[in-house]
Structure 1
Amino acid sequence: MEHGTPPINELVSGKLAQDMGLLKTILDRSSDIVFREFQLGDAQTAVIIFLDGMVNTIIVDSDIMQPLLKYGETMLQKSRLSLTGLETLLQNQVITAAQVNSGERIQEVVDHVLCGDTVLLIDGVNKALFISAKGWGKRAVEEPATEAVIRGPREGFTENLLTNISLIRRRLRTPQLKIEGLQLGQLSKTDVAIAYLEGIADDAIIAEVRERVGRIDIDAILESGYVEELIEDNSYSIFPQVNYTERPDKIVANLLEGKVGILIDNTPFALIVPVTFFEMMQASEDYYQRYVISTLIRLLRYLFLIIALLLPSLYIALLTFHQEMLPTSLLLSAAASREAVPFPAIVEALLMEISFEALREAGVRLPRPVGQSVSIVGALVIGEASVSAGIVSAPMVIIVSITGIASFIIPSYSQAITIRLLRFPMMILAGTLGLYGVLLGVLFILIHMARLRSFGVPYLSPLAPMHASDLKDALVRVPWWGMVRRSTETSKNNPRRMKGSLRPRPPKRGG
């Protein structure tokens, strides 16, 4: 070990003084580590080791200490009990905690203590008992702050992995739901769970997720973003290839489509793989509203997606290179508003867009009550002052405002950021090449997206490659009775969602 730390791969010797000395050396300068020594009968010495603040002291007192002391008084003070099988006897008949395991290495003792378990060492016994008594402060289940809905469940994930798994189990009460656990991070030892539905999810995708997550070798995992960057297909692409959510109902819906969920301890955001472009434009509420409303809202999102990406670029290209394409009255109005502006349209647009993005970022970083006021007041004041000073034109303020509103309509925050960033190169292309530059930029984006994969699934599926049966839940949403089959790319094992036809039939009129 580095920095003079003693080796911790040794076996538990059974000599309590020696083992405690080694553990105290390893866990030196850790004031929250508690060593509680006590007598187990007449002459038997024992110690429990736990991390203060990470255990439930009520469980330690009632399920560990009291049974051990009571057992020692009744059995060991009469005659010294044989040490053979003592740890098995205590594990199976004395300690009343729900989970008790044993181990033989000092490394295991240290790991369990730091994970919040209580460790029991007994003099003369060369095994340690690991007793689950975890109990630290945690946030209650609340409504997700980033994915609010008008109609739908109000529960959101928390930073506790077991709580998050229970929220999924409540919605999928089937043995087909598999939760595979592992630890990532040499120092953080963060618990990670891979969730999928056996018999629905594609075995190849499950194996690929296992392989990519399992090969992560890093010092610490502090948030799901670490894992996201380490498992995505194309790390140089600006488009997100892993979806994330705070909503248990959303991850359950994706598991039912044959996808795989990755849950990480200490973060309320769960990852979903694979993902497509069209899924990033869908919201949980789309499936709780009636299909007509959901379809219209989806079409509105795609319209404003185009506006968020192309509106400033089209304005720049038309005013700079293609004035003949504008109606005369509109051209004269735009020319009059720009008469006092000293900058070309491209510089004017970049100034306003950068200022708007800075205000939006400032609003996010400031405390919530202050941030919203700063964003709104700042945009109004700066926009009005800029027009009055003749730095920018009034139409440009309108264009930037509409573009900003359009980017907020995109449900996925990571997808919205991607569109916001792509807007700047599109404006530069429009300012240098006009509409030809805009067309080249759109073609480049489409070609890149067509080549992109998320765990082997084409990013533009079901449009490219074409899966006609999956188009029922892409640009539009058909009624639930019409979505008989799951996604073609991710649920090849069990493609049918429902048996027979559930289409409502009107009652027959009596004569």
Structure 2
Amino acid sequence: MKKRDQKTEDTKPIEIPVSKDLQVNIKKIKEILIDCDDVIIREFSVGKRQNYKYALVYIDGLIDKQLINEYVMEALMHDGRDEVPNPRTVGSNLYKLSKEGGIPLSEVKDLNCLKTAVDSVLAGETILLFDGFSEILLTSSRGWPMRGIAEPVTEAVNRGPRDGFTETGKVNTSLVRRRIRDPKLKLKYQQIGRRSKTDVALMYIDDIVDKGVLKLVKERLDGIDVDAVLESSYIEQLIEDDWISPFPQIQDTERPDAVAASLYEGRVALIIDNTPFALLMPATFNSLLQSSEDYYSRWAGAFVVRLIRTIALPLALLLPSLYIAITSYHPGMLPTQLALYIAATRIDVPFPSFIEAFIMEATLEILREAGTRISGPVGTTIGIVGGLVIGQAAVEAGIVSPFMIIVVALTTISSFTLPNFSLTSGIRIWRFLLMILAAILGLYGIGIGLMLLLAHLVSLKSFGVPYFEPYSNFINDFSDLKDSIVRLPYKFMKLRPKYLRVGDKVRMNNSKDINSLVDESGGENKDDRGQ
């Protein structure tokens, strides 16, 4: 990826010094936030003689008003009257006295720039200004309405945690922290977006992560210069290696357990405020085919499920193009009875097989999009009923053959087995490309398309890691294949993936097999139970 230009001088934040005159500071804030009716500026006085002037500034709807009322205003205006500081020194130490002994909040911060203070107010904090002092006190008071923690919609599991990310970044990072109680887990915040100033949390485990990957992620984040970041896909598209490719090089997830598992493997996670989707990098083709539930099921069940998923992938990619190629160019490859049946069903179809397949695939894509836009049971009903009604009507009208309906149905069902939506989108794009090549050259066109697809996947990289690992290097090293097409029992996965070039390679120490421990400690008891 080409290195992006650094931020220009005119995009740097403007430093506005804080005046000792309270009214001057309030005037500057009003000029910056002009025509912002939700900005609240509350001036008040404290002290027995009401001779110390303060001002609170916050955004209505973004703060916890009860917290500010009880622990800032009441503490200063009411409780402060019961204290009797030295009258000769209270004036010069008013700021320090308020910070260290007047506001019973756990998180307060000093600010000496008015522009930074305004940015904090826009982020949901409250600032406290003092008359006669050129410092501003920032009090943590964020309290905007937020969606509760619920089960992820796009990554539902039968067995596993039911909590998913929300649109609040602090909540999301805490869900990950809850699963990794390790001081080596590092979290670094930065703001991206000149106007949105979106909080982005970079998370990694210091002694596991590949420092080269971490450095590359930081450099690409620092190179982003954009007005606003409204969703994690903005950042994903700006830092990925090959933006032309239809396949994602960064994995997205709304599951905290998936983020924790990736961090334990040595990956880097980005948690972006205002979106429930976190980003994981580097990503490989293999990791995009894996589901969290694969690790919560018994190894035999996960073994079979991954085999089914591996079989479904070529079906979702190749079935329509194979139908076009065989019916148009190579009918002799089919058994005689099947070839005669397909020919008989297509007697009344007025279109060639490519147009027939394209009509049905395009119709299914429209139904899929309609079902997505209409959420809930109605969307599901539209997808199912629409597919059945339109398919049956198309067959009766003689537009498509019954066999084509079977092919499209198998293709659609197979695509639903893929756990990552972005990967499914890439497969759908290549499916149409292979259909075009099959209509032109038959099986030869499919062969050319598959070679181009394989060459593209092998050439891709995700933050320096080959995209087709561990398959591209399995001749030299078989160890990473134990968690690829199939999943072996945990006792065989003692090392982290080698292709990630992690620091701490061992995740499970060599220990005695549990069966031998049972034999040594419980053999006599087993005989007793047998009696």
State the partner residue of 2:3.
Answer: none
Structure 1 position 259 matched with structure 2 position 267: yes
How many residues of Structure 1 are paired with residues of Structure 2 in the alignment? 505
Q: Give per-residue Cα distances to partners, 1:410-431, cap 9 Å, x unaligned.
A: 0111111111111101011111
Matches within 5 A, 1:247-326: 247-326=255-334
Query: Shift in Å at residue 88 of structure 1?
Result: 2.0
The answer to whether residue 181 in structure 2 is matched with residue 173 in structure 1 is yes
Q: Does 1:470 align with 2:476?
A: no
3-state secondary structure, aligned to 1:432: helix
Alignment partner of 1:448 is 2:456: yes
Letter in 2 for 1:464: S
Q: 1:349-383 deviations in whole A, cap 9, x for unaligned?
A: 00110011101110110132321111111111111
- Report the counterpart of residue 128 of structure 2 in structure 1: 120
Give the Cα separation in 1 of the matches to 2:173 and 2:25.
36
Match of 1:4 in 2: none
Q: CA 1:444–1:502 in structure 2 vs 1: closer, same or farther (change >3 Å)?
A: farther
Paired residue secondary structure (1:137)? coil
Q: Summarize the alignment of residues 33-432 of structure 1 with structure 2, pairs less than 5 Å apart.
A: 33-41=39-47, 42=49, 43-70=51-78, 72-74=80-82, 79=87, 81-432=89-440
* Alignment partners' CA distance in 2, 1:62 and 1:249: 37
Q: 1:436 aligns with which of 444, 466, 469?
A: 444
Amino acid corresponding to residue 59 of structure 1 in structure 2? L
Q: Distance in 1 between matches of 2:203 and 2:357?
A: 46
AA paired with 1:483?
A: M
Q: Report the AA paired with residue 408 of structure 2.
A: V
Give a deviation string over 1:32-84, Cα, whole Å, max 9, x none.
11111111223221111111111111110111011111365345899475543
Q: CA separation in 2, counterparts of 1:469 and 1:85?
A: 66
Q: Cα distance 1:436–1:86, how it changes in 2: closer, same or farther (>3 A)?
A: same
Question: What residue ranges of structure 1 are gaps of 5+ in the alignment?
Answer: 1-6
Q: Deviations over 1:186-224 (max 9, x none)?
A: 111111101111101111111111111122111111100
Q: Which residue of 1 aligns with 2:500?
A: 490
Q: Is the 8 A contact 2:247 2:423 kept in 1?
A: yes
Corresponding residue SS for 1:121: strand
1:134 Cα deviation after fit? 1.1
> Is residue 16–residue 123 contact of structure 1 (8 Å, CA) maintained in 2?
yes
2:472 maps to a residue whose letter is A
Please name the residue that 2:8 is paired with. none
Q: Deviations over 1:373-423 (max 9, x none)?
A: 111111111111111111111100110011000000001111111111111
Q: CA deviation at 1:474?
A: 0.6
Mapped partners of 2:173, 2:502: distance in 1: 25
Q: Is the 8 Å Cα contact of residues 246 and 425 (structure 2) preserved in structure 1?
A: no
Give, in whole Å, the separation in 2 of the partners of 1:367 and 1:295.
33
- Alpha-carbon displacement from aligned partner over 1:93-128 (angstroms, at most 9, x marks no partner): 111111111111111221111111111111111111
Show structure 2 runs of 5+ residues with no match: 1-12
Residues of 2 paired with 1:25 and 1:121: CA distance? 16
- Amino acid in the other structure paired with 2:127: V
The residue type equivalent to 1:484 in the other structure is K
Query: C-alpha separation between the residues in 1 aligned to 2:337 and 2:309?
Result: 30
TM-score by length of 2: 0.93
The 2-side partners of 1:80 and 1:132 are apart by 31
Q: Deviations over 1:127-149 (max 9, x none)?
A: 11111111111111111011000
Alignment correspondent of 2:9: none
Equivalent position amino acid for 2:507 in 1:
R
Aligned: 1:14 with 2:20: yes
Structure 1 counterpart of 2:419, one-letter code: P
Q: Distance in 2 between matches of 1:241 and 1:158?
A: 23
Q: Contact 2:17/2:112 (CA < 8 Å) preserved in 1?
A: yes
% identical aligned pairs? 44
Q: Does the CA contact (< 8 Å) of 2:80 and 2:102 recur in 1? A: no
The one-letter code of the counterpart of 1:152 is G
Q: What amino acid sits opposite 1:115 in the alignment?
A: A
Which runs of 4 or more aligned residues in structure 1 lie more than 6 Å from their structure 2 counterparts after TM superposition? none
Q: Offset of 1:503 from its aligned partner?
A: 3.3
Maintained 8 Å contact 2:18/2:134: yes
Show the counterpart of 1:32.
Answer: 38
- Per the alignment, residue 3 of structure 1 pairs with none
> 251-260 vs 491-500, which deviates more?
491-500
Q: 1:147 to 1:367 in 2, by over 3 A?
A: closer
Matched residue type, 2:329: F
